[in-house]
Amino acid sequence: MDSKAMDIQIRDMSVELSGLHLDNPVIPASGTFGFGAEFAEFYDLDILGSFSFKGTTKEARFGNPTPRIAECRNGMINAVGLQNPGIDAVIADELPRISRIFHKPVIANISGFSVDEYAYCCERIDKQEQVGIIEVNISCPNVKHGGMSFGMVPESAYEVTRAVKAVTTKPVYMKLSPNVTDIVAIARACEEGGADGLTLINTMLGMRIDVKTRRSVIANTMGGFSGAAIFPVALRMVYQVAKACRIPIMGCGGVATARDVIEMMMAGATAVQVGAENLRNPYACKEIIETLPAEMEKLGIRSLKDIIGVA
Amino acid sequence: MYKRGIYKIVSNESLTDTVYKMVLEGDTQYITAPGQFVNVELPGKFLRRPISVCDYDDKSVTLIYKVVGEGTEQMAAMKPGTELDVLTGLGNGFAVEPTVSKPLLVGGGVGVPPLYNLAKTLVAAGSIPMVVLGFNTVGEVFYEKEFMALGVRTVVATADGSYGVKGFVTDAIKGEKLEYDYVYSCGPMPMLRALGGMITVPGQFSFEERMGCGFGGCMGCTCKTKNGNKRICKEGPVLRTDEIIW
């Protein structure tokens, strides 16, 4: 082995997330990776730090009518509407399937439409051995309160966090919506509610119109905008929240390259999620993990742990 | 199984004002059935463009596509020699039914291409399919000769009567008194719906939907069937007629 190869080999990519050791900080984001099976046909999932599975609710959901997808410059809009088989089927069928293709703790993404539903699903998933972290998506509408999302108001974000923490033993990460006036206020509310960490950001509310039909491209009219275009917004929010909170952050939003991962960590992320990029390049996470050591070498980084929040 | 690969454009020429035929050279081992599709990465476009496979052999794949937006416009301008990043082997294609004696293939517009390799496959399996191709007008007709060259009876219908039988594919099937015991079809939704309402024999229909990834990762193209939710890109695009909810 030449000295350069040896040098790359000693680059330490591992990070710690609330006591959970990750071989590297790269995590496919929920909703872009299903339950892993489709991507296992492209590469060995065990190279990943972890992955966050498809947002799961109490009942099975079909989701929104199609079209659910719209192309944008440097990104895309989706309005899938939390299609998932429901918590019972996820525990009975999907977790056993995951255990055959991924041999590390997985991140369980939980969604809900009431505080009780969040608590119910988190309590169930908390008992599953394969689950390393519970990630709670609070971008869903609060059905009891006019449909405004839980993540838009500090009080409801706090309430969900408290309810979930009361019934779980595993680390709980609250996944924040960027569609708010003050992301720091929401992040602090979650921290006060006892959250072990935060994931940010979810997709940004967006829209496209088909100029030929003069109607919205998406059947649901609006949807979540993601992809490379949102990276600066995500990075800014991670930076602001990291400065204001003490709990670890999984940075998410527009990450497409190893350099983006490094930049996100410098902003304050301990781990980094890759979302929409997986859908245009199914090898995105593999390529990022493979190029990280060389990028670290170029930038004089020995251990990724050293750069968390240095900016 | 599917795979990403780099494919070189061998030729790219127009068949009509808006329909183009592109032949790509590269690894085709992951294409396993007629009716599957590929997903083409285009410079400057975030999402890939899903295009059905018209035909393939050991080292090349033929795509026929209609220019409907910026992406396909970009494709139409591409020169031979250009290299493209393509995912191949996507989707659940047509399954050849061995017990069928008189298969009927019905294509509408840009739904015609995937039926070409299906017809070829059926002929190779010793079956004698009949083909009905529907278009709006004479200027849009393509691939009639190619189907006829396979030795299969080919009926063309145009909605305005400017070529072949006047009317829709359903009019042509009735008018020509075609006898069939199975129907394979691909075309626009109104055509599939009309055909599905008319036939009393089983079959397989191929559907189209706006896709995100094309390999089942995003749930962007899910539809409801009698056998539960199916992703058009993964469990589809071909569905059996007895499971379709119209």
DSSP calls for B26-48: S--TT--STT-EEEE--TT-SS-
Cα–Cα nearest to B111, from B71, B76, B142, B152: B142
- Closest CB to A83: pick one of B41, B46, B222: B222
On the question of pLDDT at A143 being above 90, the answer is no
On the question of pLDDT at B220 being above 70, the answer is yes
Q: Which of A121, A122, A140, A285 is catalytic?
A: A140
Same structural domain, B59 and B125: no
Same structural domain, B33 and B47: yes
Are residues A280 and B218, on separate chains, in Cβ contact within 8 Å?
Answer: no
Q: Which DSSP string corresponds to A248-261?
A: -EEEESS--SHHHH
Contacts of B89 in chain A (CB under 8 A): none
B117 in a domain, yes or no? yes
Mean pLDDT of chain A: 95
Whether A19 contacts chain B with CB within 8 A: no
Same structural domain, B50 and B15: yes
Same structural domain, B98 and B86: no
Same structural domain, B106 and B191: yes
B38 in a domain, yes or no? yes
Same structural domain, B19 and B72: yes
Are residues A41 and B213, on separate chains, in Cβ contact within 8 Å?
Answer: no
Same structural domain, B124 and B194: yes
B48 in a domain, yes or no? yes
Specify the DSSP class assigned to residue A91. I
> To the nearest whole percent, how much of chain B has pLDDT over 70?
100
With bands split at pLDDT 50, 70 and 90, how would you rate the model's confidence at B2?
confident
Bond from prior residue into A67 cis (ω within 30 degrees of 0): yes
Among B53, B70, B90, the domain boundary falls at B90
What are phi and psi for residue B110, nearest 5 degrees?
-80, 5
ipTM score of the complex? 0.93
Tell me the residues of chain A between 125 and 164 that have a Cβ less than 8 Å away from chain B. none
Determine the average pLDDT of the residues in B59-88: 97
Residue A9: the pLDDT is 62
**Residue ranges covered by each domain of chain A:** 3-307
SS3 A204: strand
d(CA B32, CA B19): 25
Whether A62 contacts chain B with CB within 8 A: yes
Same structural domain, B100 and B202: yes
Cβ count within 10 A of residue B77: 10
Are residues A32 and B218, on separate chains, in Cβ contact within 8 Å?
Answer: yes
On the question of pLDDT at A199 being above 80, the answer is yes
B121 is in which domain, residue-wise?
94-206
Whether A275 contacts chain B with CB within 8 A: no
Distance from CA of B98 to the nearest CA of A (A): 29
B179 in a domain, yes or no? yes
On the question of pLDDT at B85 being above 90, the answer is yes
d(CA B202, CA B205): 10
- Closest CB to B215: pick one of A31, A76, A282: A282
Cβ count within 10 A of residue A133: 25
d(CA B159, CA B194): 14
Distance from CA of B7 to the nearest CA of A (A): 16
Mean pLDDT of chain B: 96
Q: What is the pLDDT of residues A107-129, one digit of tens each?
A: 999 999 999 999 999 999 999 99
d(CA A237, CA A239): 5
- Closest CB to B212: pick one of A37, A54, A78: A78
B73 in a domain, yes or no? yes
On the question of pLDDT at A241 being above 90, the answer is yes
Contacts of A73 in chain B (CB under 8 A): 46
- Considering only alpha carbons, which residue of chain B is nearest residue A66? B221
B244 in a domain, yes or no? no
d(CA A255, CA A262): 10
Are residues A71 and B2, on separate chains, in Cβ contact within 8 Å?
Answer: no
A122 is catalytic: no
On the question of pLDDT at A141 being above 90, the answer is no
- Closest CB to B46: pick one of A68, A71, A278: A71
Kindly report which listed range (A2-16, A36-50, B4-18) carries the lowest average pLDDT score: A2-16
Are residues B220 and A280, on separate chains, in Cβ contact within 8 Å?
Answer: no
Q: What is the CATH number of the domain that holds B145?
A: 3.40.50.80
- Give which of A33, A35, A38, A51 to mutate to test B binding, by max B Cβ within 10 Å: A38
- Closest CB to A280: pick one of B48, B224, B234: B48
d(CA A220, CA B206): 25
Q: What is the pLDDT of residues B119-176, one digit of tens each?
A: 999 999 999 999 999 999 999 999 999 999 999 999 999 999 999 999 999 999 999 9
What's the domain count of chain B? Answer: 2
Contacts of A31 in chain B (CB under 8 A): 218-219
Whether A32 contacts chain B with CB within 8 A: yes
Determine the average pLDDT of the residues in B105-119: 98
With bands split at pLDDT 50, 70 and 90, how would you rate the model's confidence at A2?
low
Q: What is the pLDDT of residues A170-181, one digit of tens each?
A: 999 999 999 999
Same structural domain, B133 and B200: yes
Same structural domain, B77 and B120: no
Contacts of A67 in chain B (CB under 8 A): 209-210
Q: What is the CATH number of the domain that holds B46?
A: 2.40.30.10
d(CA A155, CA A192): 11
Cα–Cα nearest to A218, from A82, A84, A75, A65: A65
Are residues A278 and B213, on separate chains, in Cβ contact within 8 Å?
Answer: yes
Contacts of B211 in chain A (CB under 8 A): 69
Are residues B222 and A76, on separate chains, in Cβ contact within 8 Å?
Answer: no
Are residues A71 and B47, on separate chains, in Cβ contact within 8 Å?
Answer: yes
- Considering only alpha carbons, which residue of chain B is nearest residue A61? B229
Q: Which CATH class is domain A3-307?
A: alpha beta
- Considering only alpha carbons, which residue of chain B is nearest residue A72? B46
Q: Which amino acid is at A309?
A: G
- Considering only alpha carbons, which residue of chain B is nearest residue A254? B46
Among B74, B90, B106, the domain boundary falls at B90
B234 in a domain, yes or no? no
Same structural domain, B98 and B200: yes
With bands split at pLDDT 50, 70 and 90, how would you rate the model's confidence at A10?
confident
B232 in a domain, yes or no? no
Distance from CA of A41 to the nearest CA of B (A): 7
Q: How many CB pairs under 8 A join A and B?
A: 93
- Considering only alpha carbons, which residue of chain A is nearest residue B211? A69
On the question of pLDDT at A54 being above 60, the answer is yes
Query: What global pTM score does this model have?
Result: 0.94
Kindly report which listed range (A146-160, A227-241, B20-34, B195-209) carries the lowest average pLDDT score: A146-160
Are residues A280 and B41, on separate chains, in Cβ contact within 8 Å?
Answer: yes
Contact A267, A260 (CB under 8 A): no
Among B90, B121, B146, the domain boundary falls at B90
Contacts of B71 in chain A (CB under 8 A): 71
Same structural domain, B37 and B86: yes
Residues in chain B: 246
